[in-house]
Structure 1
Amino acid sequence: MPRGERPLDVGDSPLLRFAADLRSLRDKAGGYSYRQLGARAHYSATTLSDAAGGRKLPTLAVTLAYVRACEGDVAEWEDRWHQVAAEVSPNPEPRPDEGHPPYAGLAAYGTEDAEWFFGRDHLLDDLEQRIAHRRFVAVFGASGAGKSSLLRAGLVPRLAGAGRVVVTTPSEQSDPDLSAGLLIVDQFEEVFTLWQDDRRAAYLDALLAAPCKVVLGVRADFYGHCAQHPALVAALTDGQLLLGPMGPEELRQVIMQPAVKASCTVETALVSRLIADATGQAGVLPLMSHALLETWRRRRGTTLTLAGYEAAGGIQHAIAQTAERTYTSLEKQQRALARQVFLRLTALGDGTEDTKRRLPRAELDHDVDVDVVLDRLAHARLLTLDRDSVEIAHEALIRSWPRLRSWLAEDRDGLRTMRRLTEAAATWESLGRDPDALYRGARLDAAVDWTQRDGVRTSAQEREFLADSLQARDRERRLAHRRTRRLRQLVALLAVLLVLAGTAVVLAIEAQKEAAEGWKSSAAWFVSNQAQALRGSDPRLADQLALAAYQLNPTDALRDGVLSAHAASAQDMVSRSAFPSGQGLSPDGLPRPNARVPTPANDTTYLPLGKRTTPSATVTSMAVSGVEQAFATTLEGRTARVWDVTDAIAPEVAHTFTFPVLRIALDPAGARTVVTVSEISDVVVWDWSDPARPVERSHLIGHPRPVNGVAYSQDGQVVVTWDDAGTIRLWDVSNPVHPLRIGELATGREITAVALSPDGDTLAAGGANGVVRLWDRSSQWAPTEVWAQKVHPEAIRALGFRRDGKALATVGKDDKVVLWDVTDPARPAERGRISGRTTGVYAVSFGETSQKVVTSNSDGTTRSWEFDFDLAVTQMCAAVEAHISRDEWQQYVEAVGALEYRRPCA
């Protein structure tokens, strides 16, 4: 047995197992002698024999030379070496006489570490100048970019002589210390992650009103959160400093200067290696500092060496150790989410190494556990979070974390399927959910098979994409099945025809009729398309062609085409009833003759009824009292006014709210109360007895999330609110002083419109995905969902029940208004679908008849949508001044062999 080798016993240490595996590798390579191996590895036979002897761990260089000589997997053995090194060479304990370490490790540099802080002089000069000329300054930077160190170890010592400087974080001090000359609030993002809206608002107000100068340290991915607060945005104008990655010279100072101060030297090779590992990498500073600290503890005399850096694991293995520790600290469900996040953040190489991938935040579900996982991984410096994207902090994580490499190796074909699915779903969404962009055939089968594997988690967008793809496939299969069945029937029919010639004649006549019906359908659609094409240039002719198409083939779709043609000729109206509350128009739903109303853009301009208005500022929220004695508006500037329109000719401003109002709603049954929603989601009920002097009566308490909408029931007894988390709450405001919460429904979806039936038994809600849902409220606190259907391809703009509760109108972003019969809420039936412009629509109700729907627009106008087909035809024909000519008939109708000349309105 060669010198230094011995048998491997059960219970041997990791070092002995490592040595035994090296010997096994030599045997598998052909049993080279150590002299032969030395010639191949360019090391002495003694050195290689000692490496496999198990007495001490060989250096990384010797190990890799040994492995190359034996034609082993170099990358695998490099990882193995680091694992064994970590077990047999634990981090050295600090020497009793070693003094203050020159590097801070993973922790940020504090004020007590100022003498060891280097590399940020030009940024500190810039920051100091900004503070001298501004009261409010913010430093933004990615996690791990060095914000805390810059503020604590860099800025504080510079300003030590300029007065009292206080450094705090929101989690340390819930009320800011305003007695300082300079207040530094580090980790400012905690106000968004730790606190509810009311506490956050109070803290922001205190900072903005502070008599001292304020400097914030904010993680870059919370920039959008800051932008949601207008006062904070105004305070930070021209007062923002963005902290990016360090350049080579700055990194050189960070590496060299602390060592020099500690009377140490750094090998040139180590400096070059560290700069190469860290340059241009966001969030790498804590990892580099940690690697330097461990290298310093492994120094040779007073010299920090490259060998010590490698033994410490370097930046790469420091990341791997941190990743493993953070991952195992997560809960089971969160570990599964973390696995999916890392897989999505990795781009698979094709003949090249895997690389990191910037991931749009929208690709991940908006879920509490997902947010927790991202925050934990970012806090551990593993991920970098930006406003709209997520990425791995350093590509070394992909190469050096064994667990991640094993995930990537488990099912690379499945990961490619996931990547293609993600891209296809994003393309489908960008094309307005075009059915032609859906998956079909083998691609669909492969994607569905992949989603059914253990541990696979898809995004909401991907799930909707696959669901629509499967529905489209089912429709195509049913169509193919019907065609096959018809073909079989035809074959059977032909067989019968051969036997029974007489019967064949009868069947041939029936087939001819079916063919004629098919021809009529095609011809009718051609004429209908001609009508649509002429709508802009010749409305008179377009209306008559739409009627001719329906008369040729009276189907529901062509009937809707006639109703859409009638709606296209309707005029926008301006009146007091153009400004409805969230539940719809005033009770009669009609504009008053000769009424005049103020346009939202100009308080002193009035337009007569029937004229269109295009104000320079749009209305974000409006409400009207049931008797049309007052209405309120909320403009884009969030200025809310109450108007007294008792005198319709000269309405006056009765009250202007002194705080920004996002949403407003008036009691539609008599203007007894009004509800406002402020920027901080404070929902207030006001006594409206005197419109000029509203009195605050109560607050609707219990909105942990921002409120997106508010509406009244038609009798004014119930107020409905919904927030950005999709939770709907119902409040009894019959006693405005003591409102009661009488129901709550957590939908978990983005809600864009809500309506309550007149009897209060049915709740309707529309979502951003075009789905309308109905709930039976027999049990107020446990409503039952009785119906859900995607009624529009895009977001729902407005919902409204008819006064008898038997009909519901829906308005979609797709420029469609739909009437539903909801006599049985569990089985609504579509009664018509009219196309027309719905941009700016925010409310819908019913007019003077049961089939007239009226929508209200943010430019202060209303529009009627007539679903009574006979009435629509009568009105269209009454407006015809010149009937379709024979030449026009021949050009557009007879051209497809359709009817002989006949006036549609004869």
Structure 2
Amino acid sequence: MDVGDSPLLKFAADLRSLRDKAGGHSYRQLGARAHYSATTLSDAAGGRKLPSLAVTLAYVRACEGDVAEWEDRWRRVAAEVLPTPPAAPGEAHPPYAGLAPYGTADAEWFFGRDRILEDLEARIASRRFVAVFGASGAGKSSLLRAGLVPRLPGPTVLTTPGEVDVRPDKLDLGQDLIVVDQFEEVFTLCPDAGQRAEFVDALLTAPCRVVLGVRADFYGHCAQYPELVEALADGQLLLGPMGPEELRQVIMQPAVKASCTVETALVSRLIADATGQAGVLPLMSHALLETWRRRRGTTLTVAGYEAAGGIHHAIAQTAERTFTSLEKHQRVLARQVFLRLTALGDGTEDTKRRLPRAELDADVDVDVVLDRLAHARLLTLDRDTVEIAHEALIRSWPRLRNWLATDRDGLRTLRQLTEAAATWDSLGRDPDALYRGSRLDTALEWAQRDGVRTSTRERDFLAESLAARDLERRQAHRHTRRLRQLVALLLVLLVLASGAVVLTFRAQHQAATERNISVARYVANEAQSLRDADQRGLANQMLIAAFHLSSTDDLRDRVLSAHAAGAPDLVSRSVPAPGPVLGPDGAQVPVARTTVIADDRVFQRLGGRLTPRDSVTSFVVTQARAYATTAESPDARIWDVTDAREPVPVHAFTGPVTRIAFAPTGGRLLVTVEGATEVKVWDASTPSEPALLSVLPNHPRFVNDFAFNADGSVLATVDNHNAVRLWSLADPRAPRQIGFLHDGEDVSTLALHPGGHTVALADANGRIRLVDLTNPWAPKRLATADGHADKVLALGFRSDGQALASAGKDDTVRLWDLSDRRRPVQRGRISGPTDGVYGAGFTEASDTVVTSNADGTTRLWAFDVDTAVKELCKTVEEPISEDEWRRYFGGLDYRPPCA
């Protein structure tokens, strides 16, 4: 038989090959093993029709094949040869909603939540403010829309934060009841903390009853608002998975209403597949909808359920079939649509995002793609918006998960570009709102990648930004020529008016200074372009020459950033014996919470093969051995990395550990946070058997971060209400609280001064606060330092306490001079990747900062500009030529900077 291109024939041929590899048993012999007749097994491998899943798996087991592999293979073939039947003209209303939640118009089809609804109505009757919490897919939206709203008398408003742009003035608070579904959009769609607070306050003070629907993993976000916590003290309803009887109603009652029957075996199968599973309702509803479309007469069958892919594969099967049915260029459009419809999670799962139609081009192919995806119930279309029908699609479709995982930084660049272009357009395309500098470079590099598709508005925005940069460069050239003419004129005046020598000299010096600044900044910009074009040697020389020409702070920072961009991660081919640890530049590196010494990127094993994500939290060397710790789910672990290429887990904590770190005392003390609230102190002298010494007494709320002082005798913790507590670990068996700080402002991370008399606090807006702890029960703020443009990820004091290092989410590392703690001064800013940084500190070289990343790597950031210049010159293979010098420095004397 010629296999050809048919997936069914190829499937049958591979079944026959499997029988041959198993010894060529006759079908009668296979039948005895598989408990099916020889005829049934022969037909399965005949290629005339696709056998059932049960027959296929029995055939594979009899031939000792890989059952899981063949089950996945069967589902892929079924998706191609058993396509979804088209809807018949005049077909009745489907009894199941699929991925979409039940709406107010679907109340008659909504079943299974009577007990919960009665409880919810009772709470609303006795309280003004109620919130329903539940996992994604637990049925919150359906409960509120199809269950609660139709039951309640009086005027009711049903909305979501996205529908009102998280603006309190758009809320209709003049009704008896306002239901705010998908309340988590307040955090995922609104980056402005002030606007979020105003929206929450408007709901809390509304003159009507309020019901919120909130995804459970955003519970901690809600706890950031004390008034909201108080309002929900006894007004919370947790929506869990349905029980067997409730699931039976969900399956049977809509079918009965649609005059259909459900096979008993299918009911049992669905209940078994769904019971106890969080977030399973949209998956089950979609599987039921696809099974109903494959019904036999008026009966929903097990065969139809298996052909649809079952609960765990139906969505992926529908999405994959719809996607592959598109033309090649339409698939590119579909990929971009799904990426734009997803909001990346920051410590939470990725969520769906409501997309304005204006963000997509008005194009026939775009309309076709949206129509196909909406017809498959994967998307929901409104007049002005588009959104994914349910977040279960994000979790269940492997292709979409792979898209999201492949380039998350690129997706963040896309989101920032989209927002910037929309702002620029809303301001009448104001030139001041265009991209400049590194943001423009990053966006242009991303937009030129294969498979990237930007909208017309985004392309216009980038084109205008590029044109504005070119104009600024031309203006800089003209300004330089004018300055040269001015210098020449001053020289002539010097000859003609000898009496004005002093005045002329000063004017010439000022003109030369301004000329040097203008030329230096122009050359620095050109150097960046050459660096992007992979001409690093020439770019480094131009940058050094520009800095020598005009030693301004911004040019100094560019030199430091160029040096950091070429600096390797710390390398130690084997873990050293006790004593100083040296980095690649020969500088001594102190072993502490903020440093990781490892073979190149060896801890990729800890963040990759051995754990589900980047999770290295600390590293310590003790007694000729080295240990790293990781925080992961379900088990946090201690790893022996003496042989850095083959790390070995020596202990696993069985509790729900969320944070873990060694104290900087040679590895004796270890602190963990369990269940987000319980802080435990361990004796880790024997890392394979850490002994519990104590638990911090009466520590309230969730612990977001903690930090030690230099000798590990003091521990500082910060909770989810931004309250900082100081604990003495002088006797680790009896820790006691010795201080408290709560200034009402956000705390994203913190660091303790080596002497313990000062704490540095940072927030999500990039500000750093220095607080005096001379009286730890009545701390006083010393100063506030503004510098970072985004959340501060890590802080670290130098051993002498005279300097502070900070690493931010804005991809910069900064050095602060604390000679006067009341007036911190920024002494340098280095641009470079900081994603995943959890710790910052100093090497023995007082001007070199070291940052530690969750993937196990450590990076050095040298803030001594002379050292940076020397190291950059080592990379130069041949000096800048005279022609190249004249091209960029005009009439200035030829002086190769690395000669």
What TM-score do the two structures reach when normalised by structure 1? Answer: 0.49
Larger Rg: 1
What TM-score do the two structures reach when normalised by structure 2? Answer: 0.49
